[in-house]
Chain A
Amino acid sequence: MSRGAEPVVEARGVSKSYREAGAEHLVLSAVDLVVRPSEFVVLLGKSGSGKSTLLNLISGMDTPSSGEVWLAGKPLQTLSEEERTQLRRRYIGFVFQAFNLLPTLTVEENVLLPLELNGVFDRKSHEAARRLLERVGLAGRNHQYPDRLSGGEQQRVAVARALAHRPLLLLADEPTGNLDADTGRQVLDLLEELARETGRAVLVATHDREMVSRADRVLQLVQGRLVARPKLQAAR
């Protein structure tokens, strides 16, 4: 972790509210957040506390009601939708709770997709995809379709896909939510190992307190506000 380095992502005074049945519903309130390279940050919060909303704001998939978000040194609020998409495809890798692999693409093609979106088409991209799949323990399953894999295997493919294009930041939204405890642990081990190996920053949104032990830093969303938690306290 390099505290002095340029932040991968920085949120300043970010608020987000939705109109629901005529009333304003505040989800995030003046959130400040900095994630630096190689940091492993765990974001705790109950269901509906705004964790996914914060991840969507950071990735530029949604825009804040007020405040600023900077990704890789670029101010998202000044960029167009197209530019935010370009930035996301380059700097962010996503792991979802429901895996969200594309069912009509093979395992290898799922991993290839982020590479191709970033303009990497040569044979090396196939080799890189295969190496990654080997690394997540799925050697030889390249040409299978996702529905032939177990939940744990699918999430491992998702991890490989999220890291394939060497993003600066890996966002994971409840990555173990659909897995049993053992499998979830294995997936997390893999995710942490790969991220640390390659020096990627990771921001994991979860309500699973077991994840705290892996974190460099723990944050918690409470009633829309982001508070830092010491690791020991957070584990309780």
Chain B
Amino acid sequence: MTPTLWRFGWRSLIRHPLLTGLSVLGIALGIAVVVAMDLASQSARRAFGLSAEAVSGRATHSIVGGPSGLDDGLYRHLRVELGIQSAAPVVEGFVRPAKSPGHTLRILGLDFLAERNLRARLGNGSVDVRTLITTPGAVLLAATTAAELRIEVGQSFPVLINGVERNLTLAGLIRASRAGALQAVDDLALMDIASAQEALGKLGRLDRIDLVAPGQDPQWIEGFRAALPPGVELIRASARSQSLDQLTRAFRLNLTALSLLALLVGVFLIYNTMTFSVVQRRELLGVLRALGVTRRQVFSLVLGEALVLAIAGTAFGMVGGIALGQGLLPLVTRTINDLYFVVTVRQLSLDGLTLAKGIALGLGATLAAALPPALESTRVAPNIVLQRSVVESRLRARLPQFGLLGGSFWLMALMLFALPSRDPLVAFAGLAAVLVGFALLSPAATYLLASGARPLLEKMLGLPGRIAARGVITSLSRTAIAVAALSIAVATTVGVSMMVDSFRATVSSWLESSLIADVYATVPGMASRLSDATIRPELVEKLRRAPGVQAVTSVRTTRALWKERPVDLVVADLSATSRHPYRFAEGRPEEIWPALERSDAVAVSEPFAFHHRVDVDQLMELTTDDGIRPFRIVGVYYDYGSDRGLVMMSRQTYQRHFRDRAITGLGFIAAPGYSVEKLLGELRAIAGGDQQLLFRSNRALRETSLEIFDRTFAITQVLRLLSVLVAFIGVLSALMALQLERGRELALMRALGLSPRELWKLMAYQTGLMGLFAGLLSLPLGLLLAHILVHAINKRSFGWTLRLSVEPTILFQAVAIAMLAALLAGIYPGWRMSRANPAAALRE
């Protein structure tokens, strides 16, 4: 490459600054979305990892029990009789500061004397251990947390623990042992174990005992495990955080995939821009070749231009991505809190790997998109007699070939979807094949649409209508690319919107059928959805006897251990009313209910069966209070409340194996003639000030659930909006390029006597027509994408069976977006051409 050739390339880019600017913006937005999403979810993951590490410390294993935890006598037994020194007891719980309801503190009750070096990362307190032990309700907080809650050292502050208000006292601050460690202890409240037991209502109980196994000796571990009493398990410390990390994998994967869709639209934009720049300069490239510029040099020239766009786009994209990531962080964190676990993320951590990935993706995707046009440019013969008409007629002759190739991509997609793989990545590969296939089929589709529309347009709009339709066909090499880029962009938004709508409709109808009681009572939960805070037994009894109550259903949600991992367990009473909400995907209800009632059996939710690859008739070995017991899976039921999945057990079965009798939720059915409002009033009056309970009517609960749903999909909606924006820019730049390229032709029309007004009209017809075509083509593709997202990707990521619901407004919106963008795209070139001196334009 010579300096003058570089100059040629550079000036070709800056010749149409608006067009080049739009391409750069397209890449920048695509990259920004991907980087932002990655940074936000990595930050949440990192924050979670840091706090898990700080909480686990050097512990290699934890001893855990069933739903009611461990007896603290076990700890004494370990230390005194077994002589294990490197063990420390832990009591854990979540509380909410009464004055900052948005905040959740994680109480970690520790025996500071036993801690020694186990949790060095937690740092030291600014007060001595004696103060912590002797002051009732004394806690240590990180300075940042204390400042945020506006609590001074020595000050008392009220918190809600399981709905009961209690006072804690800030005894001192946690001093970070090293820089950056403060993030790990964010929202952690350290307490002496005895105070924590008292505050959390866990007198005499422990949540776990952490220990450092001597030398990781497997024999010692096996022997130790065997010596533990029944119902007590030894698990690896890393297993807990790993299983939580796996939980969010599908969520993270989907965010990444959606953001990659936005980038894909950006890539089409680049492909479009670069193809235009090659097609438009075909003659000039021919001249270069005649002057002795080699194919390789032409290739480098085109790719070099793309590289300039890539560098600029990626640079803006990285900066934008960091800013956007900061904005998305609360959304991602809230979704994780709603769906998975409590995590506090205050700041975006700028992960080097994510940034490097963003740069590689920006440069790589842009260059990959520019590759086909760059290769095309080397095929320009150094023969300047090659006419434009030849290019067009060649393309038309090759339409069947393109169609065939497109068809084979679709066949490949079908095969990918037919694969028995459960990996969502395979489904994403299928999705990509569908899009490429569509891009290859779209020239033929555009040709057919334009040919079909011609007579109609002529009848409706006269000569300009015919010229507009003919223009689409005669410039098919350009128009088809623009229409393809546009329809893919629009179809993406259609697909994502329909997926979210279908999801919402399914959840809404599921809520309708599963919420059968008139009033529900729970302990005001922490951020995470599946709260295991319990209602005081005496209060349960009082509420059961409330006037106006015809029937009561109760539920206990808790965790049980299965293969060293905690699984969510739902304990339900199996009255006829409680059975009503369940719909089974596998198994027959008339066999399931009796089995659940009488034998050691469980039913699992659809996502659970999917994630853990279990099915009806398989045995699950759960750790009960009497040791490990097998439970037969008798049914798989639909559930959209938890994406990690649930195990459901009848109360009878539960009580046979667990001593825990607690209840986490109650459902009341009003007696005939008793209004819901009146019943609510009665129940609230009975609960009084004892324990704060949340009473919600059926309707309110349904609304709240959908609110949470919408909140968890807020991030998806943001992504959808961003990809609409990228699509809009794509449409704008594709059509603008087309019209600018037609400068000479339009100047000729002006020279022949077309008024500026008529010229605008002509351009509006043509861009509007292409927008309409793109909008129409995006509909079947959008439906197909929605089908893939709902039935393949969601099913493979979360294991949910969803019903595809088609909202006609989304379809209208799609066509409207395409046409509006198309018409807007005609404005600038129209304005330019109508102001331009036709003679000067003809000379260009």
Identify the A interface with B (CB < 8 A).
Answer: 52, 56, 59, 61-62, 81-82, 85-86, 88-90, 92, 94, 96, 98, 100, 102-105, 109, 112-114, 116-118, 121, 147, 161
Q: Are A114 and B382 in contact (CB under 8 A)?
A: no
14 contacts between A and B (CB under 8 A): A62-B381, A82-B296, A86-B294, A88-B382, A89-B291, A96-B384, A98-B384, A102-B284, A105-B4, A112-B4, A116-B5, A117-B5, A118-B292, A147-B843
B278: min CB distance to chain A, Å: 15
Interface centre among A56, A92, A102, A116 (most CB of B within 10 A): A102
Which partner residue on chain B sits nearest A104 by CB separation?
Answer: B11
Q: Is B288 an interface residue (CB 8 A)?
A: yes
Cα distance A117–B844 in the bound complex, in angstroms: 26
- Asked whether A90 and B4 contact (CB < 8 A) given A61-B383, A104-B11, the answer is no
Contact with A along B1-37 (1 / 0, CB 8 A): 0111101100110010000000000000000000000
Give B378's nearest chain A residue, CB to CB. A81
C-alpha spacing A104/B383, complex, angstroms: 20
- Name the distance in Å between B636's Cβ and chain A's nearest Cβ: 64
With the chains together, A59 CA to B15 CA distance in Å?
32
Please, which residue of chain A has its CB at the minimum distance from the CB of B294?
A85
Beta-carbon contact of A59 and B290 below 8 Å: yes
- Whether B827 is near chain A, meaning CB under 8 Å from some CB there, is no
Chain B residues, Cβ within 8 Å of A88: 290, 292, 382
- The CA-CA distance from A59 to B381 in the complex, in Å, is 13
Does chain A have a CB within 8 A of B205?
Answer: no
With the chains together, A10 CA to B284 CA distance in Å?
29
Do A100 and B4 touch (CB < 8 A)? no
Q: Which residue of B lies closest to A96 (CB)?
A: B384
Q: Is the CB of A103 within 8 A of B844?
A: yes
Q: Does B385 contact A (CB under 8 A)?
A: yes
Assuming the contacts A104-B11, A104-B15, A105-B7, asked whether A85 and B292 have C-beta atoms less than 8 A apart, the reply is: yes
Interface string of B231-253 (1 = CB under 8 A from A): 00000000000000000000000
Which of A56, A116, A147 is B4 in contact with, Cβ under 8 Å? Answer: A116
Q: By the criterion CB–CB under 8 Å, are B292 and A114 in contact?
A: yes
Interface string of B378-414 (1 = CB under 8 A from A): 0001111100000000000000000000000000000
Interface contacts beyond A85-B294, A116-B2, A117-B291: sample of 15 additional A-B pairs, CB < 8 Å, sorted by A: A59-B290, A62-B383, A82-B296, A85-B295, A89-B291, A94-B291, A100-B284, A105-B4, A105-B8, A112-B4, A113-B2, A113-B5, A116-B3, A116-B4, A117-B2
Q: Is the CB of B290 within 8 A of A94?
A: yes
Contacts of B8 in A (CB 8 A): 102, 104-105, 109, 113
A94 and B843 alpha carbons, distance in the complex (Å): 22
Is A82 within 8 A of B384, CB to CB?
no
B11 CB, min distance to chain A CBs, angstroms: 4
A residues less than 8 Å from B307 (CB atoms): none
**Complex-state Cα separation, A104 to B6, whole angstroms:** 11
Assembled-state Cα–Cα distance A47/B115 (Å): 99
Interface of A, secondary structure class, is helix
Is B651 part of the binding interface, using a Cβ–Cβ cutoff of 8 Å? no
| Minimum distance in angstroms from B176 CB to a CB of chain A | 59
Q: Across the interface, which residues of B come within 8 angstroms of A112, CB to CB?
A: 4
**B544 shortest CB reach to chain A, Å:** 85
Q: How far is the CA of A10 from the CA of B502 in the complex (A)?
A: 74
Q: Mark B604-616, 1 if CB is under 8 A from A, else 0.
A: 0000000000000
Complex interface: chain B residues within 8 A of A147 (CB):
843-844
Q: Which residues of A contact B449 (CB under 8 A)?
A: none
Residues of A within 8 A of B288 (CB): 102
| A48 CA to B283 CA, complexed, in Å | 20
Q: What is the minimal beta-carbon distance from B276 to any residue of chain A, in angstroms?
A: 15
Interfacial chain A residues near B843, Cβ < 8 Å: 147
5 smallest A-B Cβ distances: which pairs? Answer: A89-B292, A116-B2, A104-B11, A61-B382, A100-B287
Q: Measured between alpha carbons, how far is A119 from B606 in the docked complex, in Å?
A: 70
**Does B289 make an interface contact (CB < 8 A)?**
yes
Question: Are A104 and B2 interface neighbours, CB within 8 A?
Answer: no
Query: Is B293 interfacial (CB 8 A cutoff)?
Result: yes
A117's contact among B15, B293, B382, B383, by CB below 8 Å, is which? B293
A159 to chain B, nearest CB (A): 14
Nearest to B13 among chain A residues (CB) is A104
A82 in contact with B291 (CB, 8 Å): no
Cα of A55 to Cα of B292 in the assembled complex, Å: 15
- Give the residues in chain B near A52, CB-CB below 8 Å: 385
Query: Is there an interface contact between B295 and A81, defined as CB atoms closer than 8 Å?
Result: yes
CB neighbours of B15 from chain A (8 A): 104
**In the bound complex, CA of A104 to CA of B16 (Å):** 11
Q: Which residues of A contact B3 (CB under 8 A)?
A: 116, 121
Residue in contact with A86 in the complex, picked from B284, B291, B292, CB distance below 8 Å = B292
The CA-CA distance from A222 to B283 in the complex, in Å, is 29
Q: Is B291 within 8 A of A113, CB to CB?
A: yes
A130 → B minimal CB distance (Å)? 15
CB nearest neighbor in A for B291: A114
In the bound complex, residues from chain B placing their C-beta under 8 Å from that of A82 are 294-296
Mark interface residues in B512-555 (1 if CB within 8 Å of A CB, else 0).
00000000000000000000000000000000000000000000
* A117 to B3 alpha-carbon distance, docked (Å): 10
- In Å, the complex CA distance between A85 and B844 comes to 29
Which residues on B sit within 8 Å (CB–CB) of A90? 292
Shortest CB-to-CB span from A54 to chain B, Å, is: 13
- Complex: how many Å from CA A113 to CA B6? 11
Nearest B residue to A109, CB-CB: B4
What residues of B have a CB within 8 angstroms of the CB of A62 in the complex?
A: 381, 383
**What chain B residues lie within 8 Å of A116 (beta carbons)?**
2-5
Chain B residue nearest to A106 in the complex (CB): B7
Chain A contacts for B385, CB-based, 8 A: 52, 56
Give the contacting residue for B289; candidates A61, A118, A121, A161; CB below 8 A: A61
| CA A85 to CA B3, docked complex, whole Å | 19
Q: Is the CB of B292 within 8 A of A105?
A: no
Return A170 CB to nearest CB of chain B, in Å. 13
Residue of B288, B291, B384, B843 ringed by the most chain A CB atoms within 10 A: B291
Contacts of A98 in B (CB 8 A): 384
Contact A61 B290 (CB under 8 A): yes
Complex alpha-carbon distance, A88 and B297, angstroms? 15
Question: Whole-angstrom distance between the alpha carbons of A118 and B4 in the complex?
Answer: 12
Contacts of B381 in A (CB 8 A): 61-62
